[in-house]
Structure 1
Amino acid sequence: MRTTESRGPIVTKAGSFLHSLQVQGTQVVFYDRGSGPALVLIHGMFGDYLDWEPVLEPLARKHRVIALDLPGFGDSEKPHREYTGEFFVAALHELLQALGLERATLVGNSFGGILAVLYTLSHAQSVERLVLVSSGGLRTFGGKEKQLAVERLSEENLLALTPAVHRQMFASIFAKSGPAQERYFAKQDAKLARADYPAYARTLVSSIRLVLSTCLLERLGEVRCPTLLLWGDRDIVFPVEQARQALERLPQGELEVLPGGGHALQIDCPDEFVAALERFLERPAH
């Protein structure tokens, strides 16, 4: 067990790379493995640290990899509260401070990309580089779109989900099928049977409101660190055209498109994902 003076103990799960720590009054679970420059992986909506499972070990060969279950997600605590961008940013900052990380590269997928940009805008001095993987927050949603999303993903509807409907919901994030995708579906199905699923549903409703109300496109000019936009050419959730619009606004941005990749590149094409990320990290900052 490692300890910090101000935030209580960092509790380590025996025989694993999993730890937990209280931040913003919430017990947060995180994966911490490897040494070297720090990579902080931030999962997307409906996700947890296991969304990164296919790339955790390869990335940890050269880096210290930290992948958290955001507050309200995965095995982290799920308090009944409004999950705002400010709350997530504060929780992430407190976690990184507790781990002694003065600077790190943030890697955010989808909803996690929104949080990574918000964190960078608030704590630019703490971000070495930024990687946005099929990121949200790069478009506005019209009134009818918002209304439809709120209705479809209401707490009532989320609580009534069946495994079959669940699988149909998530099918669009993948461009391929195989064992990795099946493991993802099984993991999502298991969440429906958890005792904390009602609390998780509340988290989702609150977080969905955050996504629908957040467009960061016009603030990307404030992001001064080197930034990689990593997209799949078959992403139908946030099509690659959104990345091209973002690229025009980033002072130090670059775009890499992975052929055959969908919305969850780290699952669809993990080898290509790791290679693209390593190329970006090995290039000198300019």
Structure 2
Amino acid sequence: MRALVETVSVDGMPVRLHTMAPAGRRRDSLAPTIVLVHGIGMSHRSFARSQRVLSRTHRTIAVDLPGFGGLSPVGRRLEISELADVVMRAVRSRGVHESVLVGQSMGSQVVVAAALQHPDEVLAVVLVSPVVDDRHRSLAWLAVALGRDGLVEDARMNVVLLSDYFRSIRQYVRELRPMVRWPMLDAVAALRVPVLVVRGTRDPIARSEWAGRLTRAARDGALVELYGAHHVQEHQPAPFAELVDDFRRARSLEATR
């Protein structure tokens, strides 16, 4: 299955969208669309395996944020709220008005901000390996944890990590401060949509205690741990896709009662 790749401009910033869906349905009204948002330094490739599985039954769009995935650096720092608005405007340009947002690492911050800013367009959010733990809010701690994660990621994921980081280094450095200081716990508590938190059992960055506190902060939260590291969605693509689908269906049924 090949993705439809389109680059759209939002306020002069390029955003690349990788759309995959059941055969012949990339441009129709399959709803809700599952939108996948990568973490800092990464690209759509951090969802390569899980997107293929999800797209067997859903229209999916994996986003390359401005300055990442080989896109030109923006030339300035983008706040999390700006990135969230960019994502929503980009997918809206492709006719998406009802979505489940899935964010990994820094992308989890982006999707929470998007749900707060565009509540009428977001049905639920899935936070994969969410950051930043408010009890470990320092670049030094994150750097050590990232190094530890590299020891438990598989070879393919480490190649993706290193190559994506190299391509995005200028924007990566600019986004570190907004990521570290963003109040994730308070933002999740303010959400009105269901929240699914997913973490890997071997993840040294999004630890179990932090994931539990985030889940409890949500009005309607659930936590699932799968075997794997920080990019658990790629370690366990089929179970992860099943989790997302079950979560979406369960919350849709509750909404109709």
TM-score bracket, shorter-length normalisation: 0.7 to 0.9
- Are 1:29 and 1:75, in contact at CA under 8 Å, matched by a contact in 2? no
CA distance in 1, matches of 2:180, 2:101: 22
Q: How does 1:207-226 map to 2 (within 5 A)?
A: 207-226=175-194
CA distance in 2, matches of 1:169, 1:252: 30
The answer for the alignment partner of 2:92 in structure 1 is: 97
Q: CA deviation at 1:93?
A: 2.1
The answer for the alignment partner of 1:285 in structure 2 is: 254
CA distance in 2, matches of 1:272, 1:173: 22
Q: Secondary structure at the match of 2:254?
A: coil
Q: CA deviation at 1:185?
A: 2.6
Q: Percent identity of the aligned residues? A: 23
Deviations 1:5-42 (A, max 9, x none): xxxxxxxxxx7521111112112211011142200000
Q: Which runs of 5+ in 2 are unaligned?
A: none
Q: What is the identity, as a one-letter code, of the residue corresponding to 2:6?
A: H
Q: Secondary structure at the match of 2:65?
A: coil
Tell me if 1:187 matches 2:187.
no
- Greater relative contact order: 1 or 2 (C-alpha under 8 angstroms, separation 6 or more)? 2
Q: CA deviation at 1:102?
A: 1.2
The answer for the alignment partner of 2:229 in structure 1 is: 262
Q: Which runs of 4+ in 1 moved over 4 A?
A: 168-171
Q: How does 1:89-128 map to 2 (within 5 A)?
A: 89-128=84-123
* Structure whose CA Rg is larger: 1
How many pairs are equivalent?
A: 244
Structure 1 residues 169, 256: closer, same or farther in 2, change over 3 A? closer
Q: How does 1:1-286 map to 2 (within 5 A)?
A: 16-34=3-21, 35=25, 36=30, 37-142=32-137, 145-146=138-139, 148=140, 172=149, 175=152, 181-191=154-164, 197=167, 200-258=168-226, 260-283=227-250, 284-286=253-255
RMSD: 2.4
Q: CA deviation at 1:220?
A: 2.2
Deviations 1:157-183 (A, max 9, x none): xxxxxxxxxxx955615745xxxx322
